[in-house]
A = this chain, B = another copy of it.
Amino acid sequence: MSLMGDAYPRTDEDRADAGGTAEAAGPAGVPDAAAVHARLRESAPMVQCVTNAVVTNFTANVLLATGAAPVMADVPGEAGECARLASALLINLGTPSGEQREAMREAAQAARAAGTPWVLDPVGVGSLSLRSAFARELLTFGPAVIRGNASEVLALAGAGRGGRGVDSTDDVEGTGDAAMALSGATGAVVAVSGPVDLITDGARVVRVPGGSPLLTRVTGGGCALGAVVAAAVAAARGLASPDSSLAGAVAAHALYAVSSERAALAADGPGTFAVRFLDEIARVEPAALRGRARAGETGAQ
Contact = CB atoms under 8 A, between A and B. Distances in A.
Interface of A: 1-11, 14, 46, 52-58, 60-61, 64-65, 69-78, 81-82, 85, 94-99, 123-124, 126-131, 149, 151, 161-167, 193-195, 197, 208, 210-213, 215-223, 225, 253, 256-257, 260, 267-272, 274-280, 282-283
Contacts of A267: 279
25 contacts: A1-B193, A1-B195, A1-B210, A1-B213, A1-B257, A3-B149, A3-B222, A4-B221, A5-B223, A8-B123, A8-B128, A10-B162, A10-B165, A14-B164, A57-B58, A75-B95, A75-B96, A75-B130, A76-B98, A81-B128, A81-B129, A269-B282, A270-B282, A271-B277, A275-B275
A267 B195 CA distance: 31
Contacts of A1: 193-195, 197, 208, 210-213, 215, 253, 256-257, 260
Given A2-B193, A194-B1, A164 B9 contact: yes
A6 B219 contact: yes
A164 B225 contact: no
A6 B123 contact: yes
Contacts of A162: 8, 10
Given A78-B131, A222-B3, A270-B64, A14 B165 contact: yes
Contact of A64 (B55, B56, B85, B218): B218
A272 B195 CA distance: 27
Nearest to A263: B271
B256 A82 contact: no
Contacts of A53: 53, 56, 72, 74
Given A77-B129, A78-B96, 19 more contacts: A1-B195, A1-B256, A2-B195, A3-B222, A5-B219, A8-B163, A10-B127, A11-B161, A14-B164, A64-B216, A65-B269, A72-B94, A75-B130, A85-B127, A267-B279, A269-B280, A270-B278, A270-B279, A271-B279
